[in-house]
């Protein structure tokens, strides 16, 4: 069965979804597109071959005009929950870009409503859909490192060259924590199987930063099992760039696991995924074989969503499950503002 979807939010990243992601998933069919900005709507419609009759300025108009089982939301984050609730109330399953919301309270409303209605509300935590983090999760679960001692995560990119007036990323709220570190927070929860309990974030950027808010952060995270995580992320790094998932060093009594992921470029393939294992007393680490899949990243998440809608396994990254990542994100942002250690307040 093909899942008929209404795609909402076509600017920038949403337009990329429309042109490069959705067409790669045969289990879905776009029956309508939605964007309130008419030039954007017309441009994307022309690019992907959608007629004017199936192009709408609002989700309500689209839902009234077409038959669909699901809605894919790739609009700005402030609109995620309102649009998700509108779609849920109309009886539609929903896949929404990350972060689901800027606050846990708002996200919880959507998660609870989806559960009340018996509908799927999945968050596109696309970094989960690569072989390296899946391999690391299996290794840690099987006790490959024994008791863990530390996890160090580094993310480095340079994104400061575009004119300030033309680059929307500079104006994002908490661009390091809410827009980027949320991915790494989510991977941390995924691979360890544990939740965070406390976080301390220190931010501070040089005068040449074009970002309105923090473009870099150093964050210490305490997990529920006592493990302490060291995180360093920057959009202003002149050091060697990492892959998008960052560089991870996971150390335990039986050795060190290193992994990196999502380095395959615009094709979002797994060519940049690496996992190595170094045992005590060994100078060299052994590169481990990875089990690959046909689709990765956003496309894999959309495939998971479509199969869940048609009676397949429930998605891992539901809105309810994702609240732990949002709670860590929210606590890190609070800590960056307060200068104090902040508790991670999960529902």
| Predicted local confidence at residue 264, as pLDDT | 80
Nearest to 124 by CA among 47, 21, 232, 55: 21
Parse the chain into domains and list their residue ranges: 3-124, 128-293+328-343
The fourth-level CATH superfamily of domain 128-293+328-343 is Dihydrodipicolinate Reductase; domain 2 (3.30.360.10)
The pTM of this model reads 0.95
d(CA 54, CA 64): 11
User: Cα dihedral angle (99, 100, 102, 107), rounded to 10 degrees?
Assistant: -150
Please list the rounded mean pLDDT of every run of 10 residues in the chain (347 residues).
96 95 97 97 96 97 97 96 98 96 95 98 97 98 97 98 91 93 97 98 95 96 98 97 98 98 86 97 94 95 98 96 97 96 93
d(CA 18, CA 217): 32
Residue with tokens 């596109």, as numbered in its chain: 124
User: Cα dihedral angle (89, 90, 95, 101), rounded to 10 degrees?
Assistant: -30
| Predicted local confidence at residue 1, as pLDDT | 85
| Predicted local confidence at residue 346, as pLDDT | 85
d(CA 22, CA 4): 12
d(CA 109, CA 171): 27
Specify the CATH class of 3-124 in words: alpha beta
Which own/partner pairs from 308-317 qualify as long-range (CB within 8 Å, at least 24 positions apart)?
308/93, 308/120, 308/122, 309/3, 309/69, 309/70, 309/93, 309/120, 310/1, 310/3, 310/27, 314/120, 315/120, 315/122, 316/128, 317/122, 317/123, 317/124, 317/125, 317/128, 317/186
Report phi then psi at 130, rounded to 5: -140, 155
Residue 319 tokens, joined = 């809105």
- Maximum alpha-carbon separation in the chain: 67
């Amino acid at each position: 069965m093909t899942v008929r979807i209404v795609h909402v939010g076509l600017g920038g990243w949403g337009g990329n979804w429309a042109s490069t992601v959705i067409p790669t998933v045969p289990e879905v069919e776009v029956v309508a597109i939605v964007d309130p900005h008419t030039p954007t709507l017309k441009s994307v419609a022309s690019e992907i071959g959608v007629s004017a009759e199936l192009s709408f300025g609002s989700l309500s108009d689209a839902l009234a005009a077409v038959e669909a089982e699901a809605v894919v939301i790739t609009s700005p984050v402030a609109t995620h929950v309102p649009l998700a609730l509108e779609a849920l109330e109309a009886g539609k399953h929903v896949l929404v870009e990350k972060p689901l919301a800027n606050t846990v309270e708002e996200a919880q409303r959507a998660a609870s409503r989806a559960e009340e209605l018996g509908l799927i509300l999945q968050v596109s935590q696309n970094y989960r859909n690569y072989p390296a983090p899946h391999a690391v999760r299996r290794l840690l679960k099987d006790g490959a490192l024994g008791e863990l001692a530390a996890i160090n995560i580094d993310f480095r990119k340079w994104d400061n060259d575009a004119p300030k007036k033309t680059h929307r990323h500079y104006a994002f709220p908490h661009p390091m924590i809410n827009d980027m570190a949320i991915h790494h927070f989510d991977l941390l929860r995924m691979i360890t199987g544990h939740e965070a309990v406390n976080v301390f974030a220190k931010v501070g950027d040089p005068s040449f930063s074009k970002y309105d808010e923090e473009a870099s952060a150093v964050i210490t995270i305490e997990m529920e099992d006592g493990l302490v995580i060291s995180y360093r992320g920057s959009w202003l790094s002149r050091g060697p760039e990492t892959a998008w998932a960052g560089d991870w060093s996971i150390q335990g009594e039986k050795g060190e696991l290193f992994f990196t992921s999502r380095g395959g470029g615009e094709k979002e393939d797994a060519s940049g995924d690496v996992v190595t294992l170094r045992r005590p007393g060994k100078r060299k680490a052994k590169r481990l074989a990875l089990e690959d899949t046909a689709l990765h990243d956003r496309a894999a998440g959309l495939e998971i969503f479509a199969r869940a809608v048609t009676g397949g396994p429930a998605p891992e990254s539901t809105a309810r499950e994702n609240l732990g990542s949002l709670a860590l994100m929210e606590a890190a942002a609070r800590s960056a503002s307060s200068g104090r250690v902040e508790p991670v307040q999960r529902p």
